[in-house]
Amino acid sequence: MHRRQKPSAPEHKRDLAAHGGALSMSHNDSRTFFNFSQLVLSAGHLRTPPVLKHSKITYFEVEILDVQSKKQICIVDKVPPSSTLLDVKHKFHKACPQWYPSRVGLQLERNGPYLKDSINIQSLAVSSIITLYFTDLGQQVGWTTFFLTEYTGPLLIYLLFYIRLSTIYDQVESTKNFRHPVVHLACFCHCLHYIRHLLETLFVHKFSGGHTPLKNMIKGCAFYWGFTSWIAYYINHPRYTPPSFGHRQVSFAALTFLMCEAGNHFINVALAHQNHSGLKACFPSPTYNPFTWLFLLVSCPNYTYEVGSWISFTVMTQTLPVGIFAFLMVIQMSLWAQKKHKLYLKRFYPEVRRKAAMIPIIF
């Protein structure tokens, strides 16, 4: 039998040393790899440098053609997408100085409506070239100038007839005949009406910078100034006769006139507050002010009060020119009320659907 021989002590130690050295080397290598991994993880991920992206802005070219001849007037180039139609009009004015922005009318189609200045040019674009049709709207005036001119004339014209100028009436007849109190009251009411309009134009109504053709202002002035001359001539005439029912008729009509004037003012204030307070999601509702309760019945109570003022002024003075003027005002106000009522139906249908436009049941 062969016996296994034990290795000698020196050889055994050499084997252990060699085996231990191999273990220590592998252990050191693993620790080194572990430390390197921890260092990489602690340093975070290696990021590649960001690639700079150059944003490309697409500019538009606006071709402007004459609406009648279809001939090209000019091309407005390098129009940014954020531009509005008003910006295009300003650039068009630089190319064609004879047409300033307020008299430039631009249409997307020849028979289409005029585009608003606030429209974004990108909303009109189908391609990089936009074609618009130009119409010369004529000389324009601002809305504030329009109303101030239209209302100042009647105020001054009536006062000229009230003082009975010698160039208008016979001086001897003017000094001889006694003025009835209704003449003075009519002057007060007439002046109050137009002073209210002037003050509301300056301090209540807020116009968005729009314009209107000069010919419209001439038409409006001819209408108001002409009728004021006719009305003032008869009321302030030395031979003017008072109303048939005397003091009762005058007092009742004057009280109604003042109530309508007050109601008209409070309605205009309510509408101005509703239009410029940012709360445009609902129709104006009545407040604690009883003059605003007419909102429960009609959608345009300011026109209702305006018509009521002139009807009561007709009853108070009992003159034919005032009656004709009041009749024309009823027609005009009803047309404006119907137009505005249709707009209200589109925006505030649930609140307006059971209301009349200007006069309950009738309009």
Residues 124 and 155 in one domain: no
Tokens read off for 316: 């108070």
Minimal CA–CA distance to 190: which of 333, 314, 329? Answer: 314
pLDDT score, position 32? 56
Tokens read off for 300: 């345009």
CB 255 within 8 A of CB 313: no
Distance of alpha carbon 144 from alpha carbon 205, whole angstroms:
9
Residues 294 and 356 in one domain: yes
Residues 148 and 134 in one domain: no
Distance of alpha carbon 137 from alpha carbon 106, whole angstroms:
10
Is 8 among the domain residues?
Answer: no
pLDDT score, position 346? 86
Residues 151 and 122 in one domain: no
Is 15 among the domain residues?
Answer: no
Residues 184 and 246 in one domain: no
Task: Provide the residue range defining the domain that includes 172.
Answer: 139-238
CB 193 within 8 A of CB 152: no
Is 165 among the domain residues?
Answer: yes
Is 334 among the domain residues?
Answer: yes
Is 252 among the domain residues?
Answer: yes
Residues 203 and 253 in one domain: no
How do the pLDDT tens digits run along the chain, 363 residues long? Answer: 444 444 444 444 444 444 444 444 444 555 555 555 554 445 444 455 444 444 456 889 999 999 999 999 999 998 998 899 999 999 999 999 999 899 999 999 999 999 999 899 989 988 889 999 999 999 999 999 999 999 999 999 999 999 999 899 988 888 888 899 999 999 999 999 999 999 999 999 988 767 899 999 999 999 999 999 999 999 999 999 999 999 999 999 999 999 999 999 999 999 988 765 545 567 788 889 999 999 999 999 999 999 999 999 999 999 999 999 999 999 999 999 999 989 888 888 777 877 889 987 654
Is 46 among the domain residues?
Answer: no
Distance of alpha carbon 119 from alpha carbon 127, whole angstroms:
17
Please, what sign has the CA dihedral across residues 203, 207, 213, 219? negative
Q: In the listed set 138, 159, 183, which residue is the last one of a domain according to the structure?
A: 138
CATH for 111: 3.10.20.90
3-state SS class at 279: coil
Residues 234 and 148 in one domain: yes
User: How far, in whole angstroms, is CA 174 from its chain's centroid?
Assistant: 50
Residues 103 and 159 in one domain: no
Residues 250 and 343 in one domain: yes
Is 225 among the domain residues?
Answer: yes
Residues 145 and 131 in one domain: no
Antiparallel, parallel or unpaired: β 60-66 and 129-136: parallel
pLDDT score, position 35? 55
pLDDT score, position 362? 58
Residues 88 and 171 in one domain: no
Neighbours of 30 (CB within 10 A): 10
**79 DSSP β-pair partners:** 60
Tokens read off for 1: 């039998």
Residues 280 and 206 in one domain: no
What is the reported pTM?
0.78
Q: In the listed set 176, 207, 238, which residue is the last one of a domain according to the structure?
A: 238
Is 3 among the domain residues?
Answer: no
Q: In the listed set 175, 206, 238, which residue is the last one of a domain according to the structure?
A: 238
Give φ, ψ of 8 to 5 degrees. Answer: -70, 160
- The number of domains in the chain is 3
